[in-house]
A and B are shown apart, each in its own frame.
Chain A
Amino acid sequence: MYYKFDVVIVGSGGAGLMAAMQLPNASVAVLSKVYPTRSHTGAAQGGVAAALGNREEDHWKWHMYDTVKGGDYLTDQPAAEILAREAIDAVYELEHRGLPFNRTEDGRIDQRRFGGHSHHFGEGPVRRSCYAADRTGHMILQTMYQQAIKNEVRFYNEYLVLDLLIVDGRACGVVAMEIRTGEIHTFHAKAVLFATGGYGRAWKVTSNAFACMGDGMSIAYRRGIPLQDMEMYQFHPTGIYKVGVLLSEAARGEGGKLLNDKGEYFMERYMPTMKDLAPRDIVSRCIVQEVNEGRGINGKDYVYLDVRHLGAEVINAKLPDITDFARNYLGVEPITEPVPVFPTAHYAMGGIPTDTDSRVVIDPQWTPMPGFYAAGEVACVSVHGANRLGTNSLVDLIVFGRRAGKHMAKFIAENDLVPLPEKPEGYSRELVDHLYTSGGHESAARVRSALQQVMLDKVFVERNEEGMRSALDTVSGLQEDYKNVEMQDKGKTFNTELVEAIELGFLLDCAEATVHGALARKESRGAHYRTDYQKRDDVNWLKHTLAYRGKDSHDVRLDYKDVILLDDPVFKPKERKY
């Protein structure tokens, strides 16, 4: 089938729906490979940061400072300024649209502490996270979807996007497979927004949904668009041991603490001011160090998250979901027992490079590709730099999803539809046909599981040259093996084996770019910690990585672009202490 729209939005999480909401007078299609309310935004727990100052004095500039410092100065500072300033208005917009925030006694939006968020430029923790119990992302997703229903947005549910259409350097649509029928469709549009989320499934232990397979990043990468800062991948400190399901930082925001085998609340030793509320990269490294030095629980590879002292009332009222996860998946009762945790793959700071209007930029000179936008986790604007602060992902979605929508509204008013390329569905049909008829005998499950294992073993919280070299060889070999993947299901109807196989191809691309960026970056910064280069190196590495796809996995081309700094001494790069 052929469809024509002003705007095609790929992905129905917070960023995609926020953008859709800005386009009431345009014809908009939202394509999602799941039903919209299944999107992974719904799994976000703790909150959305905005300097409302409802509980204590706060200022957007403090929020901006925390974001820049939290990102270990790889953050583009004008983007961080926009994030912190516009968060306030965006949170009010969410409230106006019905989001059921928790409330203070005087009826305002309640706020709580979260990792890395401080007052007076780092003096101590501040209550900045606006929240709805520990299911803030769920509430954002539901509220946005409800508004989309009200605005009669056109949804194409369970459509897997396979390709981005580009003619003469301008985006003009996408090709998608309808999962229910296996049919391939062309969506012709003036503007395309990718809001497809991350790729946490590249690691064996992750908080991410099965859907988080890096679709959008890979599709752009295959079309010659670089991926930025992919080596900056966040491992959240408190995943449920072995399962990876997240126990929100809200637990520590409410006063929970990490405990080692000696019964010591060890974060006090590492970070005397912010303690357990230091940023995630630091806390994850501290946990790994405790385990490496033999202070994991019973000498094993985990520590405890302890919320017992908060009491049943606070735990049940403010942390109900995560308490339920611990009970359900570990059989542990957090009110009376500490919970086994270890870092879990969580969030991509990197992604498709964009400017602050969410336009995709394709080179170090910030040249935009007309008609192509990206927002949310799939994008790298870059506000999170080398490490994202808790609650800033939801801010990113609403602020830059909104900016994408507003800019697209302008763009479609000023530009006509450009003609489609010849045979727009050619690449996509080949991709799918190959999987039906590959003639190989490789199992997609084996390839995926080998990838997840090597990423966990070699490209995790701590990295080094030797480990990453072997990871690159493995990923490269798996890219070859992938060509021989065979499916048992040859049907057209709801072929999830086909969907999984296509997604695996996306995931391999993201892993490839990640390993290349990480190998090249010979320093430690934020989430990228190298045991062989333990210091941050601002002289050589205060710059963004751009990874361009080559003819094979060893042929990835790396380029770099400068980090944008403001001429304000407050934001000048300095050593991070908390």
Chain B
Amino acid sequence: MNILMRIKRFDPEKDKKPYWDEFRVEADPIDRLLDALNTVKWTMDGTLTYRRSCAHGVCGSDAMRINGRNRLSCKVLIRDIGNKVTIEPMLGYPVIKDLVVDMDPFMQKYKAIKPYLIVHDTEPGTERLQSPEERARYDEGTKCILCGACTGACPSVWGNPDWVGPASIVNAHRFIFDSRDQGAAERLKILSDRNGVWRCRTIFNCADACPRGIPVTDLIEQVKRAIVYGGDTDTK
């Protein structure tokens, strides 16, 4: 089928401000939108710039705003978007060129919540034990691929770029609720700061944007409750 792609372009070496470009592309209904972007780049306009790598939704390179919602272009099929599609870089990030945004601020926020297992005890000779129930407690957060779609979909992030944002809280949750981890108190302290969890207004854009189906807003609420009510974060 023939589709019209409307793409927001910006080359800092040439353009004073972004503009809309249009391409007509022949695509198969079961092609990925990424395939159509590649068709443009490889056969029509080599200057079109975007990130991509695995092309099946696990590396998180190609998050972009597709018809107004953040999606991975490799997980959107042509048949699901009809014959016209609008593509922009994600909001809330500085644009480097075309659909490529600067992910460094996002990664800095991720680092701020200490996204690694903190253990003070000495390690046993074999594995630490963890029951299937304890393991299930933090499963959702482990699916995160750091694509940034949730954070770029969040109006609270648009309003305040310093806010830690949903992806960081998801990753904090992953450790806070891990029975092996001993750093929950440190992370909860960071997240109870003015740029911590409380700027979340439960808008649910994050959950809609997540290509991994993580219930992002729910996880954020769990962290809020852990801060307010304290108690056992190992298994709940």
Q: List residues of chain A with CB under 8 Å of any chain B CB.
A: 34-35, 37-40, 42-43, 52, 91-92, 95-98, 100-109, 132-133, 135, 138-139, 142, 146-147, 149-150, 180, 209-211, 243, 245, 321, 324-325, 328-331, 443-445, 487-489, 491-497
A139 and B142 contact, Cβ closer than 8 Å, known pairs A34-B53, A101-B127, A493-B96: yes
Kindly provide the distance from the CB of B217 to the nearest chain A CB, expressed in whole angstroms: 21
Main secondary structure of the interface of A (DSSP, over half): loop
Cα separation A497 to B58 with both chains bound (whole Å) = 23
Which residues of B sit under 8 angstroms from A325, Cβ to Cβ? Answer: 56-57
Q: Name B123's closest neighbour in chain A (CB-CB).
A: A96
Q: Name B44's closest neighbour in chain A (CB-CB).
A: A488
Kindly provide the distance from the CB of B49 to the nearest chain A CB, expressed in whole angstroms: 5
Which residues of A sit under 8 angstroms from B200, Cβ to Cβ? Answer: none
Q: Judge whether A42 and B42 touch: CB under 8 Å.
A: no
Which residues of B sit under 8 angstroms from A146, Cβ to Cβ? Answer: 115-117
Which residues of A sit under 8 angstroms from B56, Cβ to Cβ? Answer: 43, 243, 245, 325, 329
Q: Judge whether B59 and A98 touch: CB under 8 Å.
A: no
Cα separation A488 to B40 with both chains bound (whole Å) = 12
Q: Judge whether B77 and A328 touch: CB under 8 Å.
A: yes
Q: Judge whether B58 and A491 touch: CB under 8 Å.
A: no
Residue B199 interfacial (CB < 8 Å): no
Kindly provide the distance from the CB of A36 to the nearest chain B CB, expressed in whole angstroms: 9
Residue B50 interfacial (CB < 8 Å): yes
Q: List residues of chain B with CB under 8 Å of any chain A CB.
A: 11-14, 30, 32, 41-43, 45-47, 49-61, 75, 77, 96-97, 100, 103, 107, 111, 114-117, 119, 123, 125-132, 134-135, 138-139, 142-146, 175, 178, 180-181
Q: Judge whether A496 and B50 touch: CB under 8 Å.
A: yes
A211 and B60 contact, Cβ closer than 8 Å, known pairs A107-B130, A109-B127: no
Q: Judge whether A489 and B46 touch: CB under 8 Å.
A: yes
Q: Judge whether A100 and B138 touch: CB under 8 Å.
A: yes
Cα separation A150 to B183 with both chains bound (whole Å) = 13
Kindly provide the distance from the CB of A247 to the nearest chain B CB, expressed in whole angstroms: 11
Q: Judge whether B46 and A488 touch: CB under 8 Å.
A: yes
A42 and B180 contact, Cβ closer than 8 Å, known pairs A138-B145, A491-B14: no
Kindly provide the distance from the CB of B221 to the nearest chain A CB, expressed in whole angstroms: 22
Main secondary structure of the interface of B (DSSP, over half): loop
Cα separation A52 to B125 with both chains bound (whole Å) = 12
Q: Judge whether A142 and B55 touch: CB under 8 Å.
A: no
* Complex A-B: 20 CB contacts under 8 Å: A34-B53, A34-B59, A35-B61, A38-B61, A40-B54, A43-B56, A52-B126, A92-B125, A92-B127, A96-B123, A100-B135, A103-B130, A103-B131, A108-B126, A142-B144, A180-B96, A209-B53, A210-B52, A488-B45, A494-B49
Q: Name A34's closest neighbour in chain B (CB-CB).
A: B53
Q: Name B29's closest neighbour in chain A (CB-CB).
A: A331
A38 and B77 contact, Cβ closer than 8 Å, known pairs A180-B96, A494-B100: no
Task: Please give 16 more A-B residue pairs, beta carbons under 8 A apart, in addition to A97-B117, A102-B132, A149-B111.
Answer: A43-B59, A92-B125, A92-B127, A100-B139, A107-B134, A133-B139, A180-B96, A210-B55, A211-B53, A245-B56, A328-B77, A445-B43, A493-B12, A496-B50, A497-B46, A497-B47
Q: Name A443's closest neighbour in chain B (CB-CB).
A: B42
Q: Judge whether A100 and B142 touch: CB under 8 Å.
A: yes
Q: Name B135's closest neighbour in chain A (CB-CB).
A: A103
Q: Judge whether A38 and B115 touch: CB under 8 Å.
A: no
Q: Name A330's closest neighbour in chain B (CB-CB).
A: B30
Kindly provide the distance from the CB of B131 to the nearest chain A CB, expressed in whole angstroms: 5
Cα separation A107 to B59 with both chains bound (whole Å) = 30
Kindly provide the distance from the CB of A332 to the nearest chain B CB, expressed in whole angstroms: 11
